[in-house]
């Protein structure tokens, strides 16, 4: 009887969790305060980012954009307040590492070839063999990065590294991607390639949250922008640019 009750509770909890996951926004932040060495680095009363949305974080250097992205990805803590990812608290959220990836302004690729990087990221998700090969092939085709596949990761240009890092996240199964200044310090060709890359992700329904100083990127890509000032979310215009 006791075992049945425990099993029923587990089934009920799973159902509640699944329901929460199905209907919840990608991120829901409330009364968040993050301090770095006792100084408030980020403070946000309320912020929601819905699934499939593309949101730009704007503001001057040191305003808290990158810190907020890292907080949303669970890379920083502890903090006061609450962050939910897909309806569940961020801490020990089983979905966070399966579905969300943060990409640095200057991303890190591991030693070896680009293909090795994809394989390693998939191995971390316990995807191996034929399934891994299939996912890599699909990602390569989707983002037209075939010529980069056998290249040494350490020898790629900044733009190529950025594209591989985003593609690696997608191959690993992420559908919520957080990017820190994805087009900064890039020439116009690399910037355009990244822009096309992100537009393709947006079209496919991937949730994108990125920080930027590039107004044209906000106009081209973001459905909404959130402005940061001295660590605070100071306003949240309801609409952004167009596709």
Partner 1 sequence: MNALGNAFSLLAGGERETWWTIATSLRFSLWSTVFAVIPGVPLGAALFLGRFKGKRVAVAMVNAIMAVPTVVVGLFVYSFISRSGPLGSLNMLYAPAGVIAGQALLAFPLVTAMSYTGLQKLDPRYNETLLTLGARPWRRMIAIIREGRFVIVQAVLAGFGRVTGEVGVSMMLGGNIRWYTRTMTTTIALDAGKGEFERALSLGIVLLGVALSINFLSHLAVRDAR
Interacting residue with partner 1 among 106, 134, 141, 215 (CB under 8 A): 106
What is the distance of C-alpha 128 from the center of its chain?
Answer: 23
- Closest approach of partner 1 to the CB of residue 221, in Å: 21
Residues 124-143 that bind partner 1 (CB under 8 A): 124-125
Q: Are strands 27-36 and 80-85 parallel, antiparallel or unpaired?
A: antiparallel
CA 6 to each of CA 3, 19, 20, 94, 106: distance values in angstroms, whole numbers, following the listed order? 5, 20, 21, 21, 48
- 3-class DSSP state for residue 12? helix
Work out which of 27, 79, 102, 143 binds partner 1, going by CB under 8 A: 102
Work out whether 101 is an interface residue with partner 1 (CB under 8 A): yes
Does position 77 bind partner 1 by CB under 8 A? Answer: yes
**End-to-end C-alpha distance for the chain, whole angstroms:** 58
Q: Is 108 in the site for partner 1 (CB under 8 A)?
A: yes
Q: Which of 84, 77, 75, 93 is nearest to 24 (CA)?
A: 84
Footprint (CB under 8 A) of partner 1, residues 185-224: none
Query: In this chain, which stretch among 26-34, 42-50, 107-115, 232-240 interacts with partner 1, using CB under 8 A?
Result: 107-115
C-alpha 243/C-alpha 241 separation (Å) is 7
Which residues contact partner 1 (rule: CB under 8 A)?
Answer: 70, 73-75, 77, 97-98, 100-102, 104, 106-108, 110, 121, 124-125, 168-169, 172
């Amino acid at each position: 009887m006791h075992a049945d009750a425990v099993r029923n509770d587990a089934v009920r909890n799973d159902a509640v969790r699944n329901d929460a996951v199905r209907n919840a926004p990608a991120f829901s932040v409330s009364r968040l305060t993050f301090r770095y060495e006792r100084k408030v680095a980020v403070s946000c009363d309320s912020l929601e980012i819905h699934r499939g949305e593309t949101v730009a974080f704007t503001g001057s250097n040191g305003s808290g954009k990158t810190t907020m992205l890292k907080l949303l990805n669970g890379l920083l803590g502890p903090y006061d307040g609450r962050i939910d990812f897909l309806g569940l608290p961020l801490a020990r959220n089983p979905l966070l590492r399966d579905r969300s990836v943060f990409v640095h302004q200057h991303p890190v690729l591991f030693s070896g070839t680009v293909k090795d990087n994809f394989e390693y990221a998939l191995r971390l998700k316990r995807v191996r063999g034929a399934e891994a090969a299939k996912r890599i092939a699909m990602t390569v085709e989707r983002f037209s990065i075939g010529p980069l596949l056998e290249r040494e990761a350490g020898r790629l240009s900044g733009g190529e590294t950025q594209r591989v890092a985003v593609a690696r996240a997608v191959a690993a199964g992420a559908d919520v991607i957080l990017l820190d200044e994805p087009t900064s310090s890039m020439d116009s060709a690399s910037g355009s390639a990244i822009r096309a890359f992100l537009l393709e992700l947006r079209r496919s329904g991937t949730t994108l949250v990125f920080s930027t100083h590039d107004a044209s990127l906000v106009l081209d890509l973001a459905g909404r922008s959130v402005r940061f000032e001295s660590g605070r979310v100071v306003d949240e215009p309801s609409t952004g640019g167009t596709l």
